[in-house]
Structure 1
């Protein structure tokens, strides 16, 4: 475990060197989107100007080339930036990129694909204008619902950095990282109302060596969610809430899902969240394993369900409750988890009767009920493991 975290910290150092180099040199060439027809009046569509600026920067051989979104509000209907590029790319946002009202016939709004050595930075904002479309989201009632656009997508991107930006009121997920490798997300701010539907802060799928660091996430759904196929994910120094906490899953819904492993969540604070640290799987015949997962030094501030393994996950109607989950959860460590629970069920482990949770370990769990001396409890179902140190609530292992 220690060698893996050492490697991750070394990668973080290299990523920060890349960010600092780009910032200090300012890029070999700056492509200001206003030179390509963008107007920062908040009304004119600047989509083509953004794509043209990127295309020009992407085709410069070598160097570090910057696409600049200056101060102002630039309305963008949809923009897709495809590599590979011939040099390094910095996408700098100092102003506001604002989505058009309603929805578009796509599941992405701003997308970066097939790029090696991308830096997305600046103190500006991606405003998804989600309030114009949230009423069209029927996913709670319709399991086959059409997903609204994700604000920022990284697909098949590697050796890249996202730093400092703000994401506001996404229509669906704020950021989705898919099929990526070596991505560092550092110092971002993600904000949406508590009742906004499916506005996950950052969703990671089928990716490896991803670091989410030093960020503030307050949304209507998971602050960070991790689907199947992920390896070596470090989540560190995150302030989360409101929202649904930090989740692994859901797992076991689709055929050919890959195992998820090497997840570390540490030095985080979860405040007024519906869930805290959650692993969720569908009751289905889909087989995969979630393993080598560590939660360490996490503060709960009135999280409704601080520690939850739910292998009976079914957010909408139509699940076959007679089937146990075929997802194996094993080798999980909860260490130094402390704070307060909004419910008396502070620890709830509902594991599969077919593949019981194995080697689930608790060390120094210190949770109170709503900041009072009232007791909280722990419930275990189909779990094998151990507990030591502080046991509040008394362990059910």
Structure 2
């Protein structure tokens, strides 16, 4: 396996990614007029927020309503002071009426504690995903905890990415804290024009393959003013990525800013125009 090494340390562990999918949250026939507001609070749609009951259905109902909303700028709200337990799910923006959707995450979101209780078991690509958006704002003071401790005891090839943005463009993500993902905390895949700032990403220094942010087949990605403390790369840039701007990053513990792994099975892969400053 050929691996390109630059900057500080190199990505040492390359895991197989399973392509099974989590539940896709799309539009349904909810009568949104009955809710009468442009902020869609998950509590109003059945989520409990006690950290014990599965709140996935409440999140799905709130998303159905926000996606179907006729307002030009709906807000999906995860309120502060609550802890929401979620099974793996994916928010799909392909058929939404708005191209200016805000996810305001001020509460705490946690994954199931044991891998065996994940509804997809090991056959899912990520825990929380966003796909097919053009105009998405993810922001807030909330905490997203993947409860990865039991995953880290398994082979890394089975571990799931935490928070994934895929096949999207014009996305900004700001202010959130990510903790203890089973695998990579935050992944940008097959996307363009992604801006991430003022994030905090934390996992124990001995947690395997818990990259802070991984970029794959994406362009025009900027990451600024972010603190990353994990057991693997703070930021890793994978194949097919270009025009990446990384500035003002507090990194450590962790393996620094890495390019790779590249050249798996002898393939020729390119990474272009990566700028790193003040790390």
TM-score category of the 2 structures, normalised to the smaller one: 0.7 to 0.9
Q: Which residue of 2 aligns with 1:123?
A: 141
Q: Which residue of 1 aligns with 2:105?
A: 93
1:162 to 2:166 alignment: no
Q: Is the 8 A contact 2:198 2:225 kept in 1?
A: yes
Identify if the C-alpha distance between structure 1 residues 245 and 29 changes in structure 2 by more than 3 Å, giving closer, same or farther.
same
Q: Which residue of 1 aligns with 2:228?
A: 217
1:66 to 2:75 alignment: yes
Give the Cα separation in 2 of the matches to 1:196 and 1:256: 29
Question: For residues 30-69 of structure 1, what are the structure 2 equivalents within 5 Å?
Answer: 30-69=39-78
Q: List gaps (5 residues or longer) in structure 1.
A: 1-27, 140-144, 269-397
Identify if the C-alpha distance between structure 1 residues 253 and 239 changes in structure 2 by more than 3 Å, giving closer, same or farther.
same
Q: Which residue of 2 aligns with 1:109?
A: 127
Q: Is the 8 A contact 2:263 2:269 kept in 1?
A: no
CA deviation string 1:277-330 (max 9, x = no partner): xxxxxxxxxxxxxxxxxxxxxxxxxxxxxxxxxxxxxxxxxxxxxxxxxxxxxx
Question: For residues 148-297 of structure 1, what are the structure 2 equivalents within 5 Å?
Answer: 148-254=159-265, 258-268=269-279
Identify if the C-alpha distance between structure 1 residues 255 and 48 changes in structure 2 by more than 3 Å, giving closer, same or farther.
farther
Q: How far apart are residue 259 of structure 1 and its match?
A: 1.5
CA deviation string 1:91-129 (max 9, x = no partner): 111110000012233131100000111111001000101
Computing the radius of gyration from Cα coordinates, the structure with the larger value is 1
Give the Cα separation in 2 of the matches to 1:256 and 1:66: 43
Query: Secondary structure at the residue paired with 1:38?
Result: coil
Q: How far apart are residue 248 of structure 1 and its match?
A: 0.3
Q: List gaps (5 residues or longer) in structure 2.
A: 1-36
Give the Cα separation in 2 of the matches to 1:93 and 1:202: 19
**The structure with more strand, counted as a fraction of residues:** 1
Q: Which residue of 1 aligns with 2:18?
A: none
CA deviation string 1:196-225 (max 9, x = no partner): 111000000000000011000000000000
CA deviation string 1:313-365 (max 9, x = no partner): xxxxxxxxxxxxxxxxxxxxxxxxxxxxxxxxxxxxxxxxxxxxxxxxxxxxx
Give the Cα separation in 2 of the matches to 1:224 and 1:175: 9
Question: Which runs of structure 1 show a deviation greater than 3 angstroms over 4 or more consecutive aligned residues?
Answer: 254-258
Question: For residues 375-394 of structure 1, what are the structure 2 equivalents within 5 Å?
Answer: none
Q: Is the 8 A contact 2:38 2:71 kept in 1?
A: no
Give the alignment partner of residue 77 of structure 1, picking from 87, 104, 118: 87
Identify if the C-alpha distance between structure 1 residues 57 and 266 changes in structure 2 by more than 3 Å, giving closer, same or farther.
same
Question: For residues 314-329 of structure 1, what are the structure 2 equivalents within 5 Å?
Answer: none
Q: How far apart are residue 62 of structure 1 and its match?
A: 4.6
Q: Is the 8 A contact 1:76 1:97 kept in 2?
A: yes
TM-score by length of 2: 0.81
CA deviation string 1:229-272 (max 9, x = no partner): 0010000000000011110001000576542101000111xxxx
CA RMSD of aligned residues (A): 1.4
Q: Is the 8 A contact 2:262 2:269 kept in 1?
A: no
Q: Is the 8 A contact 1:48 1:79 kept in 2?
A: no
